[in-house]
Structure 1
Amino acid sequence: MIMQWSLKLLLISTWVWNIQGANILFIHPLFAGSHVSLLRTIGEHLVGQGHNVTIISFKQVGAPLKSSSTHQIQIPIVDKLKTCRSYINEKGEFDVNLKLARSLWETGAFLSYQTTDLGCMAFCHCDTLFESQTLKDLMASVKFELVLVDLKGNECGFKWISFFNLPTVAFWGLSFVSGNSNLMRAGPNPFQAPQISSRSGQAMGFFNLIRNFYLFCFDYIVVRYIQYGISDMYSIEGLSGPTHPWMEDLYDNLDMIFVASGPLFEAPRQVAPIVKQIPGLTIKPESKLNFSNVDIFDFLERSPQGVVLFSLGQTGVGGGNYITSEFKEKLIKGVLGTPFNAIMHLDPDLVDFTLKDPNRLFFGKWLPNQEILAHPNTRVFLSHVGLASFQEAMFHNVPILAMPTFEDQFEIAKAIEDREIGEVIWDKAAITSIEISHKLVAVANNGKYLGNMKQHSKLFRTLLAHSPPLEEISFWMEVVLEQGSMNPIKMRNTPLNFLVDCLFFLCMVLILVFGFILSRYILSIIKPGFI
């Protein structure tokens, strides 16, 4: 009932609002994480420009809808076969803390030996989108003129919206490499951009280049022949004529790709004209920060010796309750082994009382990271180095002790190490509390790290002042609205994907030929005279 009234209000307000504004639709993946606030910020800016923005997302534990000038539709997730209870609860909510968060922490990858059943989420995602009556009513009642798809893990959303033949732009909230980006004609060159699982850095030698290309091919095959295969099973009857678009063809139809990163935050790479690298979407200058948490502010003020901020961003949902008690003890003792105080993104109820020292430690389920980073007494940011966290630390000129957890965080950590703006904890299990103490002190006091971070921060602030990110995204979206298509600047050369397909086919042929010859040879030994 609430969803029906929400849709009615949407239809009425769409008619009443500024008639000159365009109707724009945003589509989240099933697990949106920190991208929820990112796309809401972009949407609210577009509303301020006179447009009407509708955002489709899926129910998540700990992520209720917040008040916004955009129209938000949050859909319960359908698990028809009840096979996805490790990720989706009985209320139809995605719950990262059921299984996935701990797996990411322990293995560093979405797909691992702990998550072999993760494919069930793709079926739930597609079932929810293609069968939702709310979405059917929405698309029948509102004439959208532009769509923005958050691409990471959103094959079903991209496939679903393709049936409506609307101009489409994409948002990519990670380093622009690996995953879906490997299948784009506009994607990065694997001989130039290290894959997120390579941990090679930009200075790749010959063997690292070969290994990086192998990882590119493996990722390409997994995405194209497994992830795409699921979404290609779905269609909307009566739309797009007798045939339906295949996933591998959809990326060529994208009119623009907005990447929330850039050469300051990853290995620099050449990109196609339709790819716009626009970092800094979450950045708030000091003039717009408001320290609403008095307790945290007082703690910072009475810590002239300096403060370490430990935060895991969106991956720390629930105050990091998936982190083992052993690692929490090691981490806290490591901080207490330095002269600094610490503000830690940990649920205080899940911390052993023997480790609590209110004079030196402040615990919180949620922390205002930017306000803390902007305070002059903050000396080190101990972070998982998600892209937004890294950018915020750089803007506020705080050196980093990186502790990458999954996906592109490993590439970002390698960039931090190569640029000498901090240090990295590569093995969380092996590091000791004493080593954590030494690294924190080194990052805080090493003049090389401080000087290099200051240089990066100055350049980042200059670039943001010259081209505010929200203004740039708004500009390009309005260009697409005006032009209807960005075909004149799209690449038309044969993509590298063709080469990967050929190599994959040749490898399969060689394996079959080798298997045939080997089987004949074995049979000739077992049964002389067989050949």
Structure 2
Amino acid sequence: ILVHGSLMLVLCFLLLRPSYCRGSKILVVPLDGSHWINMKIILDELHSKGHEITVMHSAKSWYIPTNSSIYTSIHIPTVGGDRSVYKKILLDVMVRRSYPTFIRSFHQQQLITNMLENAHDILAKSAAIIFEDEVLMKKIKDTKFDLMLTDPAFSLGVILGGYLKLPMVFNVRWINNGEGHQTIAPTPVSYAPVSGSELHDQMDFQERIKNMLHYLYSVYEQYFIINPAYTDLFQKHFRPGTDLVSLELSADIWLFRADFVFEFPRPTMPNMVYIGGFQCKEAQPLPDELEAFMQSSGEHGVAVMSLGTLVSALPHGITEAIAAAFAKLPQKVIWQLESEKPSTLGKNTKLVKWLPQKDLLGHPKTKVFIAHGGTNGMYEAIYHGVPVLGLPLLFDQFDNLLRLKVRGAARVVEVRSLTKDNFLEALKDILENPSYRKNIQRLSQLHRDRPMSPMDTAIFWIEYVIRNKGAAHLQSASFSLPWYSYFCLDVAVFLLAITGGIICGSVMACKALCCRKSTKKAK
């Protein structure tokens, strides 16, 4: 009895004791826009666990408020840009979408290269200003943070975490110039599509050529466009040989915002933890006005349209065509639109400046989601099992929608060539063909079938790194190898030299024997 009693006391102690990493000090350097929406969800959970959070951001952030009940703000030099720049990029992308299929993705990537070159130059200058601010740096060092949590698409967090030698956790999908796998994991171009290539994992010969060219271009971007922007900064503040990639590879855990239900299967690494869809939750009740609108749709249901946070409005003619197509539907439509009311708007369409996207997608009346293809929206559509009509606009959105399209859960309409008729035809196809809903609900079932929720997984690994002061044991030895050793080119050269020596020696020996025989015959 005493033994059993002692065991029960020990068990109760283990179950009820607070985790000794709680109350840790976490420094967060997020990226603005939709990336911040993701990060904020994790910060809410960390705050509820008792952690002390400090967020470094610009005072002029688009979405990151200075005053918060869950974190303390530290302002850094302005690194954000004017959101109107994305409208110009959208127009440039629409022009390039008219190019032949093989080359248009390269032309689109060139637009992104120009943007990246400017952005990383600004980020490098901002980092230099931060390092030269002795008061700010002393404040950060004296706080003795336990962890750096950052989105590596925003390189300031990576650089600062490396400089302070803090254990580092990434909340990541995109990094530098592409999808995060390309930086940390092997990328066989025979079946792992490079971001921006608009390819899937079943490639023919021509597509593999295209994928290889995209891979080589991404290497060029990283080492000849992005890395040089930080050369002076690294020479002044870091040990020789440091570059942006080496700092990124030093991160302990990569919380990767992906799930192989959505991504194509490919090689990965031990310190990559997949948390795709962590922001998804069960739908909450809608405001009374919206709920009444949903119920008024009857058996036909509702179409929900949202184009995300970066591009507030499509070209006027496209908006008019979409509104005219909506007016022909028996379904009701809820459309998040910031521009002026289209003249072709039907009585079945409700315009809103903001909509509770997760709650609408989880509503039983929702029949289709018209979206631009942002990662958050795609995972929310998968989670709630709603088929997608995609209108890709920028960046990864073309690749994201392709992933759903090849799984039979989405259709895609090119914005450049969108008309009332082809948009309406695509809408009716999704609404009337049950295979789209069946396929996305199958993805939803697979996505939800897991031993631990993505959010719990994320929090566990963040606290794991704090408890263990890092996770170096999960990092691959390949990170420290020079490129020629990684690809065993030195071994190949050695073996070729040995083989060549043996062949040359054999040839010379044969010549010598032949010469002797010839001499004997002559005598």
TM over 0.5: yes
Which residue matches 1:146? 147
Q: Is the 8 A contact 2:301 2:331 kept in 1?
A: yes
CA–CA distance in structure 2, aligned partners of residues 307 and 94 of structure 1: 36
Q: Which residue identity does 2:341 align to in structure 1?
A: V
CA–CA distance in structure 2, aligned partners of residues 179 and 500 of structure 1: 24
Which residue matches 1:196? 195
Choose which of 319, 329, 349 in structure 2 pairs with 1:328: 319
CA–CA distance in structure 2, aligned partners of residues 19 and 284 of structure 1: 26
Q: Deviations over 1:271-298 (max 9, x none)?
A: 1111111111211113xx2424x33222
Q: What's the CA shift for 1:118?
A: 5.7
TM-score by length of 1: 0.77
State whether structure 2 residue 489 is matched by structure 1 residue 481.
Answer: no
CA–CA distance in structure 2, aligned partners of residues 227 and 330 of structure 1: 40
- The structure-2 alpha-carbon separation of the partners of 1:455 and 1:120, relative to structure 1 and needing over 3 Å to count, comes to closer
Which residue matches 2:232? 233
Alignment of 1:56-95 (within 5 A): 56-60=56-60, 62-65=62-65, 67-77=68-78, 94-95=81-82
Which residue matches 1:250? 247
User: Greater share of helix residues, 1 or 2?
Assistant: 2
- Structure 1: unaligned runs, 5 residues or longer: 1-17, 79-92, 503-531
Which residue matches 1:167? 167
Which residue matches 1:306? 301
Q: Which residue identity does 2:296 align to in structure 1?
A: R
Which residue matches 1:368? 356
Q: Is the 8 A contact 1:122 1:156 kept in 2?
A: no
Q: Deviations over 1:51-106 (max 9, x none)?
A: 2122222345642517441223344516xxxxxxxxxxxxxx53212x22441464
Q: Which residue identity does 2:254 align to in structure 1?
A: I
- The structure-2 alpha-carbon separation of the partners of 1:116 and 1:459, relative to structure 1 and needing over 3 Å to count, comes to closer
Q: Is the 8 A contact 1:395 1:460 kept in 2?
A: yes
Choose which of 93, 96, 100 in structure 1 pairs with 2:86: 100
CA–CA distance in structure 1, aligned partners of residues 179 and 449 of structure 2: 31
- The structure-2 alpha-carbon separation of the partners of 1:399 and 1:185, relative to structure 1 and needing over 3 Å to count, comes to closer
Q: Which residue identity does 1:145 align to in structure 2?
A: D
Which residue matches 1:123? 121
Classify the secondary structure of the residue corresponding to 1:42: helix
Q: Is the 8 A contact 1:129 1:156 kept in 2?
A: yes
CA–CA distance in structure 2, aligned partners of residues 67 and 369 of structure 1: 23
Q: Which residue identity does 2:345 align to in structure 1?
A: K
CA–CA distance in structure 2, aligned partners of residues 395 and 76 of structure 1: 38
Q: What's the CA shift for 1:155?
A: 2.8
- The structure-2 alpha-carbon separation of the partners of 1:180 and 1:445, relative to structure 1 and needing over 3 Å to count, comes to closer
Q: Is the 8 A contact 1:196 1:410 kept in 2?
A: no
Alignment of 1:380-529 (within 5 A): 380-425=368-413, 427-463=414-450, 466-493=451-478, 498=483
TM-score by length of 2: 0.79
Q: Is the 8 A contact 2:234 2:242 kept in 1?
A: no
Which residue matches 1:28? 30
Q: What's the CA shift for 1:42?
A: 0.8
- The structure-2 alpha-carbon separation of the partners of 1:197 and 1:70, relative to structure 1 and needing over 3 Å to count, comes to same
Choose which of 331, 334, 337 in structure 2 pairs with 1:343: 334
- The structure-2 alpha-carbon separation of the partners of 1:161 and 1:113, relative to structure 1 and needing over 3 Å to count, comes to same
CA–CA distance in structure 1, aligned partners of residues 192 and 60 of structure 2: 33
Classify the secondary structure of the residue corresponding to 1:72: strand
Which residue matches 2:185? 186
Classify the secondary structure of the residue corresponding to 1:370: helix
- The structure-2 alpha-carbon separation of the partners of 1:105 and 1:399, relative to structure 1 and needing over 3 Å to count, comes to farther
Which residue matches 1:89? none
- The structure-2 alpha-carbon separation of the partners of 1:219 and 1:243, relative to structure 1 and needing over 3 Å to count, comes to closer
Q: Deviations over 1:356-378 (max 9, x none)?
A: 33x31111222111111122221
Q: Is the 8 A contact 1:273 1:489 kept in 2?
A: yes
- The structure-2 alpha-carbon separation of the partners of 1:110 and 1:118, relative to structure 1 and needing over 3 Å to count, comes to farther
Q: How many residues align?
A: 452
Classify the secondary structure of the residue corresponding to 1:119: helix
Q: Which residue identity does 2:401 align to in structure 1?
A: A
Q: What's the CA shift for 1:127?
A: 2.7
CA–CA distance in structure 2, aligned partners of residues 35 and 382 of structure 1: 21
- The structure-2 alpha-carbon separation of the partners of 1:43 and 1:232, relative to structure 1 and needing over 3 Å to count, comes to farther
- The structure-2 alpha-carbon separation of the partners of 1:185 and 1:373, relative to structure 1 and needing over 3 Å to count, comes to closer
CA–CA distance in structure 2, aligned partners of residues 46 and 110 of structure 1: 38
Q: Is the 8 A contact 1:147 1:169 kept in 2?
A: yes
Q: What's the CA shift for 1:218?
A: 0.6
Which stretch of structure 1 is more off in the superposition, 199-208 or 65-74? 65-74
Root-mean-square deviation over aligned CA pairs: 3.0
